[in-house]
Structure 1
């Protein structure tokens, strides 16, 4: 009887061990751990763009306080941040905006204002 009980426990232990998923230990580079999340990087890109002198002047002309801009950017979700960061990357470097780009920037500024 004692061997029957020990066999049962052995079978239960083996069954439990086979049901556990295998453990993995991959090597992770430091830059992978230290890299900010894509949303955080895009949010920082939007904030630095909005801190430019020409952008702050335009926002002030439209009645947006420069102190509340950072709060509004922080309140935006990941999708809105992604759209803004993508549009910043597509803007020309020399500041020669087309009409559609100006409309997009104005609409994005209105979106920022409408969030609050």
Structure 2
């Protein structure tokens, strides 16, 4: 039995030596631009913007009038992907400054809310 243990030790030593001698590809690094990676803070800001928008009393009343009542805005927005939040935040930024929502804007918000409700 001592020979089998010695044999294993020699094979292991040979494999370790071969691993140390094997060529390793060189590592390289480079600068990553700020626009290459999505900013977590930007995503968080957009999510907060959408949550604040959905918590407005006039929007909540309008959604309830359309039959979409009982929405838990914070939970729904938390369940949305970053891409969905980004798209909705862009739509919010494009709304008129007076706060008047068109039927198309309400329809888009309702469709997104229903999609999120179905996915949950």
| Structure-2-length-normalised TM-score | 0.57
How far the C-alpha of 1:84 sits from its partner, in A, is 0.9
Matched, 1:53 2:57: yes
Residue 64, structure 1, aligned to residue 80, structure 2: no
C-alpha offsets along residues 25-80 of structure 1, whole Å, 9 cap, x if unaligned? xxxxxxxxxx96111111000000011111222333323324x2211111111111
Q: State the partner residue of 1:108.
A: 112
The separation in 1 between residues aligned to 2:87 and 2:54, in whole angstroms, is: 14
The root-mean-square deviation of aligned C-alpha atoms, in Å, is 3.2
The unaligned stretches of length 5 or more in structure 1 are 1-18, 23-34
Change (3 A) 1:112 1:20: closer
Moved runs in structure 1, 4+ residues, more than 6 A?
19-22
Q: Which has the higher helix share?
A: 1
